Structure 1
Amino acid sequence: MTESHTRTPLRSVTRTAAGATLVTLHGEIDLLTARQLSARLDELTSGSRPDLVIDLRPVDFIDCAGLGVLCRARNRVMHRDGRLRLVSDSASFRQVLRATGLSDVFELHRHLPESVNGLPSSEPVPAHRD
């Protein structure tokens, strides 16, 4: 008996906050979606000094093709004197990065940087408003 797998298509949501571009990815990043994602990230890294934050928390699956896309985006950003941050709270994703020798290559965060959430990173988040 074979087990069927329902594929989650890749989709992205892009917004700009505090001079950075936040790309939130949903679904699967694999051989079937890598070309589409690579083209989108190429667009977002084409300018000088790109500041790109890629939120991977909603990603269900990433394979070596997906890692290749992230490496390409990182190389393009570094070549243009920019910054790339990945956001993932997945222990398995961190393990994959360690196993592939990429854990020290990426700037990896567990949560979105406050500045990308629309709050200046130097100001505390208010507990309530009067």
Structure 2
Amino acid sequence: MRLDALNEFAFEDSDQQPRLYGHNGAVVVELHDEIDLLAYQRLGPLLDPITGGTATTVVIDLTRTTFFDCSGIALLVRSHRRATARGARLAVVCTHPLTLRILRLTGLTPILLPVSTLEEALEPE
């Protein structure tokens, strides 16, 4: 799916609108503000064609998120499963201490391998 074809998933609040762009062959999805149940319901249909698409690397950038709950965990796990099922890599950029703590407590840090910068996420494995 082309990035410009994802406009149908527009958010009412432009501050919450995810930013999508290609970078060195990867697709980067910048998420903003709160990642809760409502965001999960909106972001799932947006991320599914990206994580199930043709990009070899999908980066979910959480550096601009302000809240992250179990719905965010479910969103990351769903995205990771979809990407890795087709042989792609999902990278997570996260610097927020509470979000990182949630990832550690749920045991997802070794699976999602969060990094601090976009540059780290785009480095080949």
Q: What's the TM-score bracket when you normalise by the shorter of the two chains?
A: 0.7 to 0.9
Could you say which residue in structure 2 is the equivalent of 1:60?
Answer: 66
- How far the C-alpha of 1:105 sits from its partner, in A, is 1.2
TM-score between the two structures when normalised by the length of structure 1:
0.77
1:24-63 superposed matches below 5 A: 24-48=30-54, 50-63=56-69
CA distance in 2, matches of 1:115, 1:66: 19
Change (3 A) 1:110 1:63: same
Could you say which residue in structure 1 is the equivalent of 2:99?
Answer: 93
**1:27 alignment partner, SS class:** strand
**1:61 alignment partner, SS class:** strand
- Structure 1: which 5+ residue stretches go unaligned? 1-8, 123-130
Q: Is the counterpart of residue 81 in structure 1 residue 82 in structure 2?
A: no
Percentage of identical aligned residues: 34
Q: What is the aligned-residue RMSD (CA, Å)?
A: 2.2
**2:41 alignment partner, SS class:** helix
Cα deviation per residue 1:20-69 (whole Å; 9 max; x = unaligned)?
A: 00111111110111011111110101224541011100001011011101
- Structure 2: which 5+ residue stretches go unaligned? 1-14
- How far the C-alpha of 1:10 sits from its partner, in A, is 3.0
How many corresponding residue pairs?
A: 111
Q: Larger C-alpha radius of gyration, 1 or 2?
A: 1
Change (3 A) 1:115 1:36: closer
TM-score between the two structures when normalised by the length of structure 2:
0.80
